[in-house]
Amino acid sequence: MKQALRISCTRRNLKVVRDFVSDFLTSYQLSEVQINQIVLAVDEVVANLIIHGNGEDESKHLDVRVGVQDREFGIELEDTNRTSYSPGSYQEPDLQEYVRIGKKGGVGMMLVNRIMDRVEFTTHNSHNICRLYKHLI
């Protein structure tokens, strides 16, 4: 990865990450739509890690690393949360049912999976890493 950033786990840092990713991607002459889609996907995952994974505990940190190799953008998000992430338990929601019952929320990871080409979660000891990849056209 070519550039890195460390943030504390507070919602105030969501804009910091959005700006970091957007600024990084601008040098690759992508369309504004593609940059915004990638930033949206990253923002969703970072928000989930800050809010749900780390309970907005400002004493905890999230490491953000970005890079491009062979026209593929990659981002790694790493924390040391004691809870491991189990993507195998994720099931895409039934949107028609959500609309029927008026449920709000719970569709962020579906959006991430549709925007990005590949999403990976790994846990080793107390280190959790989420990797997102998108081929740049």
Domains of the chain, start order: 3-135 (3.30.565.10)
Higher pLDDT, 127 or 40: 40
Report the predicted TM-score, pTM, of the whole model to 2 decimal places. 0.86
Q: In the 3-class helix/strand/coil scheme, how is the chain assigned residue by residue? A: CCEEEEEECCHHHHHHHHHHHHHHHHCCCCCHHHHHHHHHHHHHHHHHHHHHHCCCCCCCEEEEEEEEECCEEEEEEEECCCCCCCHHHCCCCCHHHHHHHCCCCCCHHHHHHHHCCEEEEEEECCEEEEEEEEECC
Q: What is the mean pLDDT of residues 4-16?
A: 98
- Which pLDDT tens digit goes with each residue over 23-62? 999 999 999 999 999 999 999 999 999 998 999 999 999 9
